[in-house]
Chain A
Amino acid sequence: MTMIARRSVLAGALLGSAAMFATGLVLSDSVAAGLQPGASAPDFTAIDSNGRTVSLAGLKGKTVVLEWTNHECPFVRKHYSSDNMQALQKKWTGQGVVWLSVISSAPGEQGSVTPAQANQLTAERGAAPTAVLMDPKGQIGRAYGAQVTPHMYIIRPDGQLAYMGGIDDKPSARTADIATAKNFVDAALTELAAGKAVSATSARPYGCTVKYADPTG
């Protein structure tokens, strides 16, 4: 009796999820799944919102922050409307850290912007990244395995990945949670600046899914 009820309830979900499962298997091969803290960060070359070419190799000797962003994502809005992200950018770029905001949304998807719109957003929000990288094909995002916005990475001056994961330990879209959250990025950058080892090298990323382009289409 119970078994029959369960069958009928779940019957609808079956066909869809089986098909999706197969799709997931094929696509996940293209992700750099092995990237771990301590590994060397994958090199990349990208064009920023001002048309300049930025390459990671050219930033050797500096601490680099990568911030995946999508201005329409509620989790990104949480950290921008509260001025949390801008304050962090100002604090650390002021101390010589290179802060790169990365937009991996495919054209037509949420968060996809033209270089001019990107600059306008930076101005409107009072943001202070070193540069905004345009990654419409999602190449950098896939190389780093970025899953969500905001997804944060910190690269040491010697090119090693020092931190990857969520910005803090309160996975929510509520601005009020920022006050009580432990900010992993700020903590790691503080430790790096003091020449210490990073204590929390990864944490669960949270946010909206990065709106990647379909690699087959």
Chain B
Amino acid sequence: MPVLYRAVLLAMLLLGIPAVPAIAQTAGALSGPDTRELVQADLIAEPAAVTPGQPFWVGVRLRMKEHWHTYWRNPGDSGLASAVDWRLPEGFAAGPIVWPAPQRLPVAHLVNFGYEGETLLLTEIVPPAAAISATSVSIGGTLSFLVCETICIPGEAELALTLPVAPPGQAAAEPASQATFAVARAALPQPAPWPVTVEAGKEVVMLQVAAAGLRADAIRTAFFFPHAETLIDHAAPQALTVDGNGLTLRMTPSRYGDGKPAATGGVLAVEEDIGGRIVRHAFAVAGDGAAAAGAVPAAAQALASASTPAPVPAPVPAGGLAAILQAMLFAFLGGIVLNLMPCVFPVLSIKVLALVAHSGESRARIRLHGLSYTAGVLAMFLLLAGILLAVRAAGAQVGWGYQLQSPVVIALLVFLLFAMGLNLSGVYSFGGGLSGIGGGLAQRGGLAGSFFTGSLATVVATPCTAPFMGAAVGFALTQPAATGLVVFASLGFGLAAPFLLLTLVPGLAARLPRPGGWMEVLRQLLAFPLYATVVWLVWVLSQQTGPDGLLAALGGLVLVALAAWALGLAQQHGGRPGPRRWAQGTALAALAGLAGLAMLLAQAAPRSAGPATAAAPAAAAAGAAIAYSPARLDALLAEGRPVFVNMTAAWCITCLVNERTALSADSVQAALAAGNIAYVKGDWTNRDPAITALLERHGRSGVPLYLFYAGGGAAPVVLPQILTPAIVLEHIGRATAALSRQSASIPTPAGSVRP
């Protein structure tokens, strides 16, 4: 880690960072009736009004007569997917249909995929960012569908609705429509909480879910609905096995194809027995990007890769011993780097300071301090990793850094770091009743204190997902629990290593300067990085909870200061019981108030991705960030537009530094504008399963993640976790050049095979 970079990181703590925009949701409905007997189709909108620059959702509602069905995007053995030809006002754009999870519809020995009863086909409409002069807009289109029972009838329906145009921020919510859309979203395939791979072989198409925690006895059925019509034999049985490593489906390859490998994405439907009740889950399976971009023949791909340096590969989770050792090494190196991160550095400095104070002690005693510190680091790492693995095994969408997605944890960290800062500033000293907690900061004693310092260093280190750490942690999370814990332990060992070395190697400790008056000054100086960290975490908290949370946190800081002051007072009046009791009482009352505030924070609902109003005016500017949603990314990619994806979080310091120093650089902004590259930004400050799923697809378990799609269906390039303007420009240039070479070498009729 270069010194300069560290300086930038520290400077970041003191800088203001712009807020992350997002969408507000409003609701409303207008519908046009249709009198067709077999399918009633109408168009409904989620918001009551259109706001310039604010994308919104509409839905084509299909109500089928009993026993009749319409089709999914892949209709199966026969049939035809429904399609909409949109008619939109100028400047408006419609995304692709976002399909609900389909049903399996057998007819004799053949199988179709589609919907019976009622379904809602969601589509995102993107209005222009500029002001709309009309007072209302008409959204319309022609729906073409095939409706079948045993016989099939093709049909068309005209869709139309009119929405008023609202000034920014004034669209009102409409609960009835919101509920309809909420139900529709619940019927969409959800991101799979585990890594899912699909391998298309000649003899078998194999889908594997790496979900070690899956209960074999509870899984009743599993069925894979492929997006591509020519991946599998739709009617053939899909052989299911569930074992300790997860779930496997073996499928028969399709007999049809056009020479191109079929894309492997789709929807996995799993029926689970929950206490005697069968529940169906549908998960989106991303499939492999290379096959999805299958329009590029193998020869052209080989040409491209031969003439360009290999792009940064996404870490491949392979289970071999070599892979484990490599992950352990990276984790160890990452752990060492963590020592230099601004969130760890002050804590470590204090520890070194304590060591200086200890320098009069015996060698054996110093060694014990080093070992206690190491044990503290390892214990906390294993505890956090254990919780993480357990929560994931239970099926929740979490990644590394999950602790910081809880406002309560952030608030407690804020209070803790502030209290430590006040201690360093000399407001109070540790000792007496609080020695159990603060021993590590005291001049004397406290092997428990060393243990505590280690644990503390670990807790505050988690947001700094250091360069080597992302891949290692991502690897660890895809492995069986034991392997995962070994990798996490390596990480912890790396974090502890420098201090441990200092205490174990006799020469090193002796070289530390002699204790003296300078120590007091340095100690007081070191309070300031802690205060800076407090400022940063309070800012993170304000992102998560808004003004109310901010008020609670700042109020809490006053209470911490009150408690510290009272404690200091009691320590000064050490001998006299009266004032001492009074001061201790005040300290206790302040701490009780703090606990109350923390509970208040726990109840404050985390805000959804961010303030809406900021988004609309900003979206017009070139290079402005588009808030991430899977549908929006798909829509941009479907347009064939190049896309730069930035996955970030307010508590991820590396992310913020990259944004400040690289992504906001004039040269990068100019390149994005010149290439008409859409800049998509996802905010992982709060939990977001869609982002977690994207991270996992690229072998990561935490932010930052930077992807560049060159457009034209090319697979994305994963950029390094530490960016400079040069690195960004190089990747964009290289991927774009590779794409243009590939386009030029595609032979004319797609799918033809040379004799």
The answer to whether A202 and B258 have CB atoms under 8 Å apart is yes
By a CB distance below 8 angstroms, the chain B residues around A20 are 104-106
* A9: min CB distance to chain B, Å: 5
Partner of B755, one of A31, A142, A199: A199
Contact A172 B255, CB 8 Å, known A199-B755, A200-B751: no
Counting CB contacts under 8 A, is B172 at the interface?
no
Partner of A172, one of B77, B80, B183: B80
Counting CB contacts under 8 A, is B112 at the interface?
yes
Counting CB contacts under 8 A, is A147 at the interface?
yes
By a CB distance below 8 angstroms, the chain B residues around A25 are 237
Closest B-chain residue to A208, C-beta based? B152
Selecting from A11-19, A50-58, A59-67, A123-131, the interface stretch reads A11-19
Give 1 or 0 for each of A8-34: 1 = CB within 8 Å of chain B CB: 011011110110110111011011011
The answer to whether A33 and B255 have CB atoms under 8 Å apart is yes
Give 1 or 0 for each of A144-171: 1 = CB within 8 Å of chain B CB: 0101100000000000000011000001
A12-B119 Cα distance, complex, nearest whole Å? 13
The answer to whether A17 and B104 have CB atoms under 8 Å apart is yes
Counting CB contacts under 8 A, is A204 at the interface?
yes
* B195: min CB distance to chain A, Å: 21
Give 1 or 0 for each of A190-204: 1 = CB within 8 Å of chain B CB: 000000110111111
The answer to whether A202 and B753 have CB atoms under 8 Å apart is no
By a CB distance below 8 angstroms, the chain B residues around A33 are 233, 236, 252, 255
The answer to whether B230 and A24 have CB atoms under 8 Å apart is no
A10-B108 Cα distance, complex, nearest whole Å? 24
Counting CB contacts under 8 A, is A207 at the interface?
yes
Selecting from B143-151, B313-321, B413-421, B559-567, the interface stretch reads B143-151
Counting CB contacts under 8 A, is A73 at the interface?
yes
* B371: min CB distance to chain A, Å: 46
A179-B259 Cα distance, complex, nearest whole Å? 24
A172-B77 Cα distance, complex, nearest whole Å? 14
Give 1 or 0 for each of A97-128: 1 = CB within 8 Å of chain B CB: 00000000000011000000000000000000
Counting CB contacts under 8 A, is B505 at the interface?
no
Partner of A9, one of B183, B236, B259: B183
Give 1 or 0 for each of B98-120: 1 = CB within 8 Å of chain A CB: 00010111111111100011000
Give 1 or 0 for each of B51-78: 1 = CB within 8 Å of chain A CB: 0000000000000000000000000011
Partner of A202, one of B116, B146, B182, B257: B257
Give 1 or 0 for each of B270-304: 1 = CB within 8 Å of chain A CB: 01000000111110000000000000000000000
Counting CB contacts under 8 A, is B17 at the interface?
no
The answer to whether A18 and B78 have CB atoms under 8 Å apart is no
Interface residues on A, range: 35 or more
The answer to whether B271 and A200 have CB atoms under 8 Å apart is no
Closest B-chain residue to A211, C-beta based? B150
By a CB distance below 8 angstroms, the chain A residues around B101 are 10
By a CB distance below 8 angstroms, the chain A residues around B271 are 14, 18
Partner of A27, one of B108, B144, B154, B255: B108
Counting CB contacts under 8 A, is B518 at the interface?
no
> Could you tell me which residues of chain B, from 515 to 540, have a CB within 8 Å of some CB in chain A?
none
A75-B252 Cα distance, complex, nearest whole Å? 27
By a CB distance below 8 angstroms, the chain B residues around A15 are 278
* B753: min CB distance to chain A, Å: 6
> Could you tell me which residues of chain B, from 144 to 201, have a CB within 8 Å of some CB in chain A?
144, 146, 148, 150-154, 182-183, 186-187
Counting CB contacts under 8 A, is B46 at the interface?
no
* B434: min CB distance to chain A, Å: 42
By a CB distance below 8 angstroms, the chain B residues around A200 are 258-259, 751-753
The answer to whether B77 and A148 have CB atoms under 8 Å apart is yes
By a CB distance below 8 angstroms, the chain A residues around B220 are 18
By a CB distance below 8 angstroms, the chain B residues around A204 are 229-230, 256, 258
Counting CB contacts under 8 A, is B235 at the interface?
yes
By a CB distance below 8 angstroms, the chain B residues around A13 are 103, 116, 280
The answer to whether B258 and A24 have CB atoms under 8 Å apart is no
Counting CB contacts under 8 A, is A35 at the interface?
yes
Counting CB contacts under 8 A, is B208 at the interface?
no
* B435: min CB distance to chain A, Å: 46
Counting CB contacts under 8 A, is A209 at the interface?
yes
The answer to whether A171 and B80 have CB atoms under 8 Å apart is yes
Closest B-chain residue to A10, C-beta based? B280
Counting CB contacts under 8 A, is B40 at the interface?
no
Partner of A196, one of B116, B186, B755: B755
A147-B79 Cα distance, complex, nearest whole Å? 10
By a CB distance below 8 angstroms, the chain B residues around A206 are 78, 80
Partner of A208, one of B148, B221, B255: B148
A17-B279 Cα distance, complex, nearest whole Å? 12
The answer to whether A28 and B152 have CB atoms under 8 Å apart is no
The answer to whether B255 and A145 have CB atoms under 8 Å apart is yes
The answer to whether B256 and A28 have CB atoms under 8 Å apart is no
The answer to whether B237 and A209 have CB atoms under 8 Å apart is no
Partner of A209, one of B110, B230, B278: B110
The answer to whether A2 and B186 have CB atoms under 8 Å apart is yes
By a CB distance below 8 angstroms, the chain A residues around B110 are 147, 209-210
The answer to whether B186 and A209 have CB atoms under 8 Å apart is no
By a CB distance below 8 angstroms, the chain A residues around B109 are 24, 27-28, 30-31, 142, 212
Q: Can you add 6 more A-B contacts, CB < 8 Å, to A21-B106, A209-B77?
A: A5-B186, A9-B183, A23-B106, A200-B753, A207-B78, A208-B78
Q: Please name the 7 residue pairs, one residue from A and one from B, whose CB atoms are nearest each other, closest first.
A: A173-B154, A27-B109, A6-B186, A209-B78, A197-B755, A148-B78, A24-B106
Name A residues whose Cβ lies closer than 8 Å to a Cβ of B. Answer: 2, 5-7, 9-10, 12-15, 17-18, 20-21, 23-25, 27-28, 30-31, 33-36, 72-75, 109-110, 142, 145, 147-148, 164-165, 171-174, 182, 196-197, 199-212, 214
